[in-house]
């Protein structure tokens, strides 16, 4: 199977501007050869806000790699100290943005309602928007995973303009208990939830081509093939392993080597 892989790297609160520059230079040198054509892969890096300009400057133009922000606010302007608006994200040159990352939800208390507002604003601004969702360990153990995911997606989709959204929404299933813990979801469990999300998105937006669904949560070279081979997993959202070019691209190479 020659499916295109989305390889997205969330740097979280890591990487100074000079480190971002170095990363991009190395990335450009390594993303060479047929497997790095734009039909095969799309890379997107999500640096901290202040590292974004350096990354945008140093991303080589001849490789399919983009840059996005890790968050953005749902208001355009005003007295919101510390916030960055979606049109600011767009204005510096980002094509993408994350919303609803589990660290935003759980450390910074973002509700489904806030995530829905951010998603709607990001889409309206014209950004490709990665909506992150996923259950906690408690929720999984009590059998509530699909109910929780349904609620997260329903509330997020509710405020969206369907026509604008179809080609801008990207979904990322990230079980909270798998993020930064070294414990990835079993491929068949990840597949089940990603298929469920893809079906919900399909029913809601009725779109062709289908909305991509990424899996995130301790993705690394050693588990990449099993996860990325699942039918409804279109790519990976990577935290820890995205901080080094080798471990980041290694995820993709492990998949592609076996499945070309």
Torsions phi, psi of 222, nearest 5? -70, -20
User: Strand locations in 54-109, DSSP E?
Assistant: 65-69, 96-99
68: phi > 0 → left, psi -120 to 50 → alpha, else beta; which? beta
68 binds ligand PEP (CB under 6 A): no
Choices 82-90, 148-156, 195-203, 210-218; region in contact with ligand PEP by CB under 6 A: 210-218
Per-residue burial over 187-224, b = 16 or more CB atoms within 10 Å of its CB, e = otherwise: bebbbbbbbbbbebbeebbeeeeebbbbbbbbbbbebb
Interface residue with ligand PEP, options 70, 112, 191, 218 (CB under 6 A): 218
Cβ pair 252, 224 in contact under 8 A = yes
Q: Which is nearer to ligand PEP, 174 or 232 (CB)?
A: 174
* Other C-beta atoms lying within 10 Å of the C-beta of residue 117: 18
* Other C-beta atoms lying within 10 Å of the C-beta of residue 121: 22
The DSSP code for 210 is: P
Q: Mind telling me the catalytic residues?
A: 101, 174
Q: Which is nearer to ligand PEP, 166 or 179 (CB)?
A: 179
Q: What is the four-CA torsion angle of 226, 227, 228, 230, rounded to 10 degrees?
A: 90
240 binds ligand PEP (CB under 6 A): yes
Cβ of residue 101: shortest distance to ligand PEP, in angstroms? 6
110 binds ligand PEP (CB under 6 A): no
Interface residue with ligand PEP, options 48, 72, 100, 217 (CB under 6 A): 217
Cβ of residue 25: shortest distance to ligand PEP, in angstroms? 23
Interface residue with ligand PEP, options 48, 68, 72, 239 (CB under 6 A): 239
User: Strand locations in 14-121, DSSP E?
Assistant: 41-46, 65-69, 96-99
168 Cβ contact partners less than 8 Å away, ≥ 6 residues apart: 122, 123, 126, 127, 128, 129
Total residues interacting with ligand PEP, rule: CB under 6 A? 13
User: Which of positions 241-260 make contact with ligand PEP (CB under 6 A)?
Assistant: 241
Interface residue with ligand PEP, options 116, 237, 245, 249 (CB under 6 A): 237
Choices 85-93, 187-195, 213-221, 250-258; region in contact with ligand PEP by CB under 6 A: 213-221
219 binds ligand PEP (CB under 6 A): yes
In angstroms, the Cα distances linking 109 to 113, 207, 244, 257 are 11, 32, 29, 41
180 binds ligand PEP (CB under 6 A): yes
User: Which of positions 134-173 make contact with ligand PEP (CB under 6 A)?
Assistant: none
Q: Which is nearer to ligand PEP, 66 or 166 (CB)?
A: 66
Cβ of residue 245: shortest distance to ligand PEP, in angstroms? 15
Positions that interact with ligand PEP (CB under 6 A): 10, 174, 179-180, 216-219, 237-241
């Amino acid at each position: 199977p020659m499916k295109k892989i989305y390889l997205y790297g969330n740097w979280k609160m890591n990487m100074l501007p000079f480190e971002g520059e170095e990363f991009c230079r190395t990335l450009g040198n390594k993303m060479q050869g047929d497997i790095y054509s734009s039909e095969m892969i799309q890379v997107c890096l999500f640096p901290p806000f202040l590292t974004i300009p350096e990354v945008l400057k140093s991303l080589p133009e001849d490789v399919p790699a983009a840059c996005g922000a890790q968050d953005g606010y749902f208001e355009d302007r005003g007295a919101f100290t510390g916030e960055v608006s979606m049109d600011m994200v767009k204005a510096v040159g980002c094509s993408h943005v994350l919303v609803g990352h589990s660290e935003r939800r759980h450390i910074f208390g973002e509700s489904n309602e806030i995530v829905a507002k951010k998603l709607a604003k990001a889409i309206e601004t014209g950004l490709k928007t990665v909506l992150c969702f996923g259950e906690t360990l408690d929720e999984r153990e009590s059998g509530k995973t699909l109910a929780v995911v349904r609620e997260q997606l329903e509330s997020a989709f509710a405020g969206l303009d369907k026509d604008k959204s179809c080609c801008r929404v990207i979904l990322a299933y990230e079980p909270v208990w798998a993020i930064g813990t070294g414990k990835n979801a079993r491929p068949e469990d990840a597949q089940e939830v990603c298929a469920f999300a893809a079906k919900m998105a399909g029913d809601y937006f009725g779109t062709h081509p289908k909305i991509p669904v990424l899996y995130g949560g301790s993705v690394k070279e050693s588990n990449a093939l099993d996860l990325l081979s699942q039918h409804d997993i279109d790519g990976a959202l990577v935290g820890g392993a995205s901080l080094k070019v080798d471990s980041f691209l290694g995820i993709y190479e492990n998949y592609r080597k076996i499945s070309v």
